[in-house]
Amino acid sequence: MKNILVTGAAGFIGSAFARYMVAQYPHYKIVVYDKLTYAGNLDNLLPISDEANYHFERGDIADRAAVQRVMQTHDIDTVVNFAAESHVDRSILAPDAFIHTDVVGTYILLDEALKHGVERFLQVSTDEVYGDIDEGLSLEDDTFAPNSPYSASKAGAEHMVRAYHVTHGLNTVVTRGSNTYGPYQYPEKLLPLFITEAMDDKPLPLYGDGMQVRDWLYVEDHVTGIDVALHKGEAGQAYNVAGENQQHNIDVVRQMLALLGKPDSLIKHVPDREGHDRRYAMNCDKLRSLGWQRQFTFETGLEATVRWYQQNEWWWRKIKSGEYLEYYKQQYEARLAAAEE
């Protein structure tokens, strides 16, 4: 392992992984490959932009010629694939992009990795492939039951990864992360959206009764979990990366508001999202057996996240304009109006 192609690494978790890997492994060459869609942001990579072992290439994982060129130019021996359309709400509004990137793009990346003789291919996936579970914890061998176009596209990508391992012998490993939060997260997801809206005393459109349960994982713990799976995971296996911190959305929002010194009255219950899964929860004993341990509690992670958005308005204020405002209007305007009736 020497030259690592990290796709989708101008996004939230991918950029955290790139920053970590550049610092942790100075003898590795980290090649970030990103299409720079709306959620891809080179500001996320500013902390490593001058490092000798970092290189950026702009491109689409569904562009076979571009993937070939990058793999050959940098003599890539390892691929970590974060590249994906990743927001459930957007997948309901426009699923085409999810199928193109998450399924077709992953297939092209796998196929070129095989041709190029890549030694290790890690696919970053999600707990949402398991679907809604009423109780207990999802295990790596559990049946997939995706309920949104996003989770279905990620499940499809995982099946293609498995096929390339079984059929062609490609050395693959999959990680499935739980609900990740932290600095540099695009403000369409619950915490960055609500933190930045609350800072401006704007209403917070909380879906339904807010009692949906998510397993909250701080981004730096997610990154170290991927690192462990990359270096120690068994070929052909999947590993859950879980926060083991199951909380109702409304409780998370209230804790966030308390840290900001803002009132709970900002919360506005709006009509729920179509097909909204009620509960996700995973067992991560398999990854823990490889030596992974989390370093952040939910309390320390949430406080670090809130403080980061307070201290980095330069990063998020310029994002919340243009295309972002159009999306916000489409997604929430009617819901907020209904909440006021």
Active-site residues, by number, are 127-128, 150
**Side chain identity at residue 273, one-letter code:** R
Where do we find the tokens 């490993």? 173
The secondary structure of 52-107 as a DSSP string is TTEEEEE--TT-HHHHHHHHHHTT--EEEE------HHHHHH-THHHIIIIIIIHH
Residue 117, SS3 per DSSP? coil
H or E element that contains 270:
strand 267-270
What whole-number distance in Å separates Cα of residue 329 and Cα of residue 123?
A: 33
What is the rounded radius of gyration, in angstroms, for the C-alpha atoms of the chain? 19
- CA–CA gap between residue 301 and residue 215 (Å, rounded): 13
Residue 291: C-alpha distances to residues 167, 227, 301 (Å) = 30, 11, 21
E strand or H helix that includes residue 211: none
Of residues 184, 127, 178, 158, the one with CA closest to residue 9: 184
CB 48 within 8 Å of CB 214 = no
What span, in angstroms and rounded, lies between the C-alpha atoms of 121 and 162?
Answer: 11
Q: Which two tokens stand for residue 249?
A: 């959305």
- Are the C-beta atoms of 31 and 76 separated by less than 8 Å? yes
Identify the bridge partners of residue 216 per DSSP, sorted by sequence position. 179
